[in-house]
Amino acid sequence: MKKHFLACLFSLPIFSYAIAGGKNKVSLEQKNPLDSSRLLREEHISALKALQPSMTGKTQQGNKYDLFGIKKGKEWTFLILDSTDFYSIRKVKGKSEMEEKDQSYTDMICLMIESKLIRQKKKPRNVDGLTFSCYYKFKPNAKKMYRNYNKISRDAKFYLKNAKGGKQGRVKILDKALK
């Protein structure tokens, strides 16, 4: 009986500590309801704010924006950070239209910025009527990352398109895999 009483007496502080520790964890989770995608978005925005913008301006609604010009070969990618969000637009030389890129592309560019895989060129540049005070270029490791991202996204689109094609689609997939 005495041993049982002592065991209960010594385990009581451990039990109460475990309960208190669990309550502290729950209260910390309730204080910080940010999910991982929102945290990643906040990191991207802070990385973009740390860069010197190529151009700044105001929209017709009066929102301030920062434009970052990134040159890769003969194409330009414009990252736009405004008061609501950030997004990217791609301009290929020789074509007059621009295409808005998907969020994964924009996130990949932001990861390059956070990893310091781009370098700043401080000379002014005129691109399609926009005068940039500076612009950015990829470092060699960023070129590899960009090339691999494009290859993966092209292959994913190819496989998704041909996976529904039945036997003919599977034959196309196998032919591409064997090349």
Residue pair 51/112 in contact (Cβ under 8 Å)? The answer is no
Coil, helix or strand for 148?
helix
Torsion of CA 98, 104, 109, 115, to 10 degrees: 180
pTM of the model: 0.65
Q: What six digits make up the tokens of 138? A: 């990829």
Pairwise CA distance, residues 110 & 127, whole Å: 22
Q: What six digits make up the tokens of 111? A: 């990861």
- Show Cβ contacts of residue 158 under 8 Å, excluding neighbours closer than 6 positions: 173, 176
pLDDT at 50: 85
pLDDT one digit per residue (tens) for the chain, 179 residues:
445 444 444 444 444 444 444 444 444 444 455 577 777 788 888 888 888 888 888 888 888 988 898 888 888 888 988 887 888 888 877 777 888 888 888 888 888 888 888 888 888 888 877 788 888 998 888 888 888 777 777 777 766 766 666 666 666 665 665 55
Residue pair 91/78 in contact (Cβ under 8 Å)? The answer is yes
Residues 150-167 as b or e (16 or more Cβ within 10 Å = b): eeeeeeeeeeeebeeeee
Strands (E), the chain: 55-58, 64-72, 75-82, 86-92, 98-100, 118-121, 125-127, 130-132, 135-138
Residue pair 106/88 in contact (Cβ under 8 Å)? The answer is yes
pLDDT at 30: 46
pLDDT at 73: 82
Domain extents in the chain: 38-138
Q: What six digits make up the tokens of 95? A: 């074509």
Q: What six digits make up the tokens of 42? A: 């906040």
